[in-house]
A and B are shown apart, each in its own frame.
Chain A
Amino acid sequence: MENNSLVTIERKIEKIIYQAALALDENNWADWFKLCDDSFFYSITSFSPEIGKDMTYFSGDKKELTGLMDMLPKHNTDHSPLRRHTSVYTIDISEDGKTAEAVSSVVIYQNLLDGINSHLDSGESRLFVVGKYHDKFLINDSLPKFVNRETKIDNRRLDKGSHWPL
């Protein structure tokens, strides 16, 4: 591939990672899914040094995720918004230019809304989760789309309010 188009694709990949962050911050699932290929698969994983194991805390394909989003209103939800800080660290585009992988760091803050006493608690921001996004992309006509996102979180202590994709 030409160096120039490589740089362009890298930029596009960076851009959709950030667009995904904005969409997720707003719980705008429709916008997020637009950035994903139909074969998209999402998971939240973690390594537990306590038991010495890699674990999957959550996983689903696009269909399962859509089902989950539809069910959200019927379940208990902590309404405190989550805000991500994402930095793209590496992007590797395959030789043939059809796929790519990226690793980004992610730090998520929770801006309290609900609380035992929301009179006191609402408005406060707390660190919620730290981890990394391991993303995979398909590139069609120079347009990257997510096919896989593994959110590898460091937290093993996870309290309420976190059951949608991070």
Chain B
Amino acid sequence: MDFIENNSDAQTNSDQSNISDKVAAKALDKGFIEEQSRIFKNTWIPVCHESELPDPYDFRTSSIGNENVIICRAPDGKVNALLNVCPHRGMLIERRPQGSFLEGQASGNPKRITCMFHAWQFDMRGNCVYVAREKEGYQDRFCKDDAGLRRLRCEVNYGGFVWVNMNDQPAIFLEEWAGAAFSAIESQICSAPLEVVHYHKEVVDTGYQQLMSQDFGSIAGDANAANLDYGHIVTRHGEVENNDPSQTSSFPSPESGQSTSVRLFPGFAFHLDGPTLNVATITPLNDSQVMIEHRGLAPKADSEEERKLRSKHYNAKFGPFRLQKMPEPNESVSGKVEENGLFIHYNNEWLRWMDQHPNGETRISEFPSSHSKTQGLSENGELSGPHIVVIGASHAGVAFVDKVRKNGFGGRLTVFDRQVGGPMERPPLSKAFLLGGGETVESKSLLRQKKWYKTNKIKLKTQSNVEAIDTKKKTITVSSGAVINYDNLVIASGAIPRELPDTHGMGNAFTLRQPSDANAIRQAANNSDTVVIIGGGYIGLEVAASLRKKGMAVTVIEAAKRILARVASEPLADRLTTLHEDNGVQVLTGVGVDSINAEDGIFDSVTLTSGQKIVGDMLITGIGVFPDSKLAAEAGIETQRKDGGAILVDETMKTSEEDVFAVGDVALRRDQSLAIESVHNAQETAAVAAAAVTGSIAPTLQTPWFWSDQYDVKLQIVGVVPVSDDDVYQVARTGKRDGAVSFWSYRGKELVAVEVVNDPATYMEARQCLDTGQSPDPEQISSLSFSPIDSGGARS
């Protein structure tokens, strides 16, 4: 029992039967539960050392209170802590104490945390990347983005220890909590990379409080003990007992003769003793048993000799087979405890956490408990006044809150999104993002940095699915069960990619909309050589270009006669077809999909209506989107069809309900027949709605614009090409730069849209023409000497 040196009283439970059974049977004590939830689930716990998971995809499991935790290393080397509980049915996911997710298990793919029950899969950040039979089983009401493993606060610090706090919002930073205590040994434990070289644990039949009182009993009267804030205690001794006093060097030197102990409340002891570092952590099991884990650490760079020397010292002092001295007859340990200043210091902290301090001092109000976040937003901090609630934190939702604040709205603003993590830009997901190798979504793709929401007093609630709207009561219901009142509601729920029925629940078959989809595609692409893409629209083509750049063999299948049949002119489509073919992509047009075939549930091939079979390692379907309007339709808000379609809005983006607006991909103006799915449209509709809500002047509308990147080609499009209008024709204009060309679409003499390839200057001119209603002469536009801006005028 070396948590407490020389502990002669604590009794050991020698029965090595299953600990978990005991915990279950005896952990129901009310006081114990309260102690766990008030103290252990709110403080920082050193769950393991980073050397226990040295490589990407390595993991270690632990537990805090009754919660199981996985600590794993992401491909970028970062250590994450996740709740080891499957969001599907709450089953425990990983059962091994330590291991690696790099190789696939019997029931899971490589590089994934796989639940063995129904094979849901998660990446090293806890994002859900695969849900078996996702759409089928959940009637579209569920999407895997909702279903990540709960990510816990986790930091690596103080000699490489992994610290986890079960409270998502610990009011106190780790450094503030432990920094002063660690300053006693930080220079020693941080001077060289350490690794755990000894590990053992023991279970003692002693309650947690009693164990602690015994520990403090053992160091009672230590004149060198310092009581620090938060109940921590540091004891220092010049030299280790029996050590050569002439040795003055300190750890990590193998000749060290010093000893210093840092005891952190509620029960983690870091003993620097001569050449060794012992870290003892306690896990109370129930009201009368505690497990103590001992770790012995040594510098990674040790020679074999140095290791032996440390090991010998460690075993004598902290090993499971060490000798423990009998207390001297006059050294009665028990009985003194109540007068022991160290224990009083510790116990006062315990009383603060338990809200039992005689002076009314408390930690719980200082440290908001994790329960507080499930409470309603009535406690919405400093701001009061009208409450605008936004559903969806993507291009449209975030642009709306930005504009509404800029318009001077001073009331409360809350944005809900079911996604995990900060709102991301969508366009990079099919482009640069796929070329990256990491598993994380780069923060440069964040729509706004975290601080921005704070500065603008915008409450962002991620992983919060809005499940119902009640337009009569003016409330929404969130997945946490919270019912939130609104004065104005803005629906910015975007769109959902269409899927082919055959691909439901199929492994290695993807659609692309959210960051987690892109992540999953990127990971699969790293392990695949061939990809089949169904759909020759912008997303399909961008993904084709990205994955081709990665070196994959790519086939694009398009049912229409040509690619981009719904959105681009024929000459542009021809140009892009050539571009893709020149880059080695097989582009098949005018051919349908007969079936999508899987082997063992994993995508294998596509059989075309022509009978041809295209085999691939992975499949991406990019056949368009449909508006995510189910929530609105269920609330009786007018949509295109009774059962869905876009939410219909007026020219101020107001829906059929007073006080409810819709913006972005989910909305369609009643006076328009065509939905435009673009970032520009999301931003513009958001600005229009923000103006309506705040009574500000509506922004001047721009001609719709859009861009796409494929290989080294930058496409810029302004206006909407009326592809099904036979009266519309295109004139090509070759630019100055190599490969620069633009296609000007006219109806009669009227300019309707311009598609520009690698020619930003021409794009700016085209945009100016369309925004100002100018139509340069179609007869002359092909000539580079003709300036489109002042029609008819020659270029200088």
Contact = CB atoms under 8 A, between A and B. Distances in A.
Nearest to A166: B321
A130 B60 CA distance: 24
B200 A57 contact: yes
Interface stretch (B191-199, B618-626, B720-728): B191-199
Interface in A124-166: 126-128, 155-164
A160 B315 contact: no
Interface residues of A, number: 38
A161 B197 contact: no
Interface string A80-95: 1000000000000000
A161 B249 CA distance: 35
Interface stretch (A16-24, A28-36, A44-52): A44-52
Contact of A161 (B14, B97, B200, B312): B14
Interface residues of B, number: 37
B98 A160 contact: no
A51 B11 contact: no
14 contacts: A52-B98, A53-B196, A53-B198, A53-B199, A57-B321, A58-B319, A59-B312, A126-B14, A126-B15, A156-B200, A158-B202, A159-B12, A159-B13, A163-B324
B258 interface: no
Interface string B320-349: 111111100000000000000000000000
A155 B203 CA distance: 13
Contacts of B19: 157
Contacts of A49: 96-98
Interface stretch (A5-13, A69-77, A97-105): A69-77
Closest 9 CB pairs of A and B: A160-B12, A158-B320, A159-B12, A58-B321, A75-B323, A163-B321, A76-B324, A116-B11, A48-B199
B16 interface: yes
Contacts of A116: 11, 205
A116 B289 CA distance: 12
Contacts of B323: 68, 71-72, 75-76, 163
B151 to A, nearest CB: 23
A56 B198 CA distance: 8
A120 interface: no
Nearest to A165: B321
A44 B319 CA distance: 11
B204 interface: yes
B129 interface: no
Contacts of B98: 49-52
Contacts of B13: 159
Contact of B200 (A128, A158, A163, A164): A158
A128 B14 CA distance: 7
A112 interface: yes
Interface in B70-110: 96-98
Nearest to B97: A50
B227 interface: no
A80 B14 contact: yes
Contacts of A58: 315, 319-321
Which of A50, A155, A158 has its CB near the most chain B CB atoms (within 10 A)? A50
Given A50-B98, A76-B323, A159-B203, 17 more contacts: A49-B96, A51-B51, A51-B52, A51-B196, A51-B295, A56-B311, A71-B323, A75-B325, A76-B325, A80-B14, A126-B14, A128-B14, A156-B199, A157-B203, A160-B12, A160-B204, A163-B321
